[in-house]
Structure 1
């Protein structure tokens, strides 16, 4: 590893097993010391398995960046001063704060990859000026896919000359009113499968937008039901494409109650909630056909008949 900025490039590498951090991530003091508030806020929106994967990846990235800076955890820079966020398309972005920002007169690019229980990160410091800035971040790099990448991916700096040149985020949105026919359990509770059907529609819309194909839903992971759903509730469900490989698309999903019926106040009483209530989160993986992936075109009637 080289840490001399005048040499042009400084490289840091870190590899760890997620299981090494499992117990430490249950201790509040460790979370406050290692992770920035933005990282912890995002981690709390994830299921247990994805949370461990996310925080382990950020931990490895911080270790790699510290090696680029030529320091350690207890040598002048706290790891929470290195914030690893992500662009709308999921690429990790390094944002240095406080003392860390003063130790890096060069841009830093980072790449993270996962394979089963192993997490690896590579950080590269470039002494030349780079205009790849997202918000207050310094550089961006593509994060390797957790499903199919067997080795550490190469790091590539993504240059963005203007905010409007960023890759648009692929999302989908639904708002539905839950009817009386959906009540399934005692107390007029709606079963969780009703929300998962909404999630399925969101995933289908996203794959149609990205691939021109409905795709095939392969699995849900980290499904968490966090609040009750009752007839009369208005549910807002959102999906966001966070990762993609040649055949797979990974979508993060969440559903909130935004309006709710209040039968105790009257037969037709309802109100807008002061704050949306999170009722379900999940991660979905869908598969698209390889021959049509990224190449499908919609034929007009004349061409099709010909």
Structure 2
């Protein structure tokens, strides 16, 4: 027996802070599980910040599409089976593959927007022609006569990847931090206006990176490069600087460390030669990312202690 099926459009919405994915997008298993090859190929052409923005937008779009398709995350379809590409004009276009293709309504669309670190995606799925009929066997929803899109019985829930080993390493990295507090001496003034050379802060960063690798590998390592260096406030003699470091990524030989330096006490000679004041809020004076390399024999020892270490 055939019955008229009331079909409606479905809307899905997802909002996330892209910092939630900052560490995950460095995990090969997460990239393989979440993104289609075309998405990764485009992401690999982008710089670090733009890559994170792009992948966060695609991940939010997939979450929104899952909701618009009427299924939950990891309930039969892997995120990589939904590919969100873009047209020549930049508009996102959706391709459903594999098990996701079995859920295809007449059309699906998605829109992605970014605001600073926040990304939002709205997806809509349009049903097949209104007034289509459906067999009772497909399961008429109780109460309003609405028929849900049939889901193939052979779809099995996609098991989440085993992240226990990765989680162990993530917890270890979360604990791997270093801290320094120093007072800038009068002898360190270098430029007019009693300004301190920015290299003074970078020397602090170098000491912090050394401490990080001593903690992780039992070796001072070799600082290979700085990236994303940003000086945001002047430093003068008499200022107190707090510098912090956190290990955020590791490969077989490399360690990537995020660094920040804040001014917490400020010299104020306008009041008196020895006057100093406590700032209401720490003031960021410099931020950077450092990459350091550890010797192979030390890296091998560290890898033995951390089974989930990736290949360089």
Q: Which residue of 1 aligns with 2:295?
A: 289
Aligned with 2:225: secondary structure?
Answer: strand
Looking at structure 2, the residues matched to 184 and 243 of structure 1 have their Cα atoms a distance apart, in angstroms, of 35
Aligned with 1:251: secondary structure?
Answer: strand
CA shift for structure 1 position 58: 1.8
Looking at structure 2, the residues matched to 157 and 259 of structure 1 have their Cα atoms a distance apart, in angstroms, of 47
Aligned with 2:40: secondary structure?
Answer: strand
Q: Which residue of 1 aligns with 2:189?
A: 183
Q: Which residue of 2 aligns with 1:110?
A: none
The change in CA–CA distance for 1:176 and 1:250 in structure 2 (over 3 A counts) is: same
Looking at structure 2, the residues matched to 202 and 62 of structure 1 have their Cα atoms a distance apart, in angstroms, of 35
The change in CA–CA distance for 1:11 and 1:126 in structure 2 (over 3 A counts) is: farther
Does residue 274 of structure 1 match 2:266?
no
CA RMSD of aligned residues (A): 4.0
Unaligned runs of 5+ in 2: 1-32, 70-83, 85-91, 94-107, 125-154, 303-312
Q: Which residue of 2 aligns with 1:111?
A: none
The change in CA–CA distance for 1:63 and 1:208 in structure 2 (over 3 A counts) is: same
TM-score (ref. length: structure 1): 0.54
The change in CA–CA distance for 1:11 and 1:228 in structure 2 (over 3 A counts) is: closer
- Please list every run of at least 4 consecutive aligned residues from structure 1 whose deviation after the TM superposition is greater than 4 angstroms: 63-81, 95-100
Does residue 238 of structure 1 match 2:251?
no
Looking at structure 1, the residues matched to 274 and 44 of structure 2 have their Cα atoms a distance apart, in angstroms, of 52
Does residue 56 of structure 1 match 2:54?
yes
The change in CA–CA distance for 1:249 and 1:99 in structure 2 (over 3 A counts) is: same
Contact map agreement 1:215 1:286 (CA 8 A) in 2: yes
Does residue 170 of structure 1 match 2:168?
no
Does residue 17 of structure 1 match 2:42?
yes
How many residue pairs match? The answer is: 198
Does residue 251 of structure 1 match 2:249?
no
Unaligned runs of 5+ in 1: 1-9, 23-48, 86-94, 101-124, 131-155, 297-306
Contact map agreement 2:191 2:197 (CA 8 A) in 1: yes
Contact map agreement 2:180 2:243 (CA 8 A) in 1: yes
Q: Which residue of 2 aligns with 1:158?
A: 163
Q: How does 1:206-221 map onto structure 2 within 5 Å?
A: 206-221=212-227
Which has the larger Rg? 2
The change in CA–CA distance for 1:181 and 1:243 in structure 2 (over 3 A counts) is: same
Looking at structure 2, the residues matched to 259 and 179 of structure 1 have their Cα atoms a distance apart, in angstroms, of 13
CA shift for structure 1 position 166: 4.2
The change in CA–CA distance for 1:12 and 1:277 in structure 2 (over 3 A counts) is: closer
Contact map agreement 1:12 1:64 (CA 8 A) in 2: no
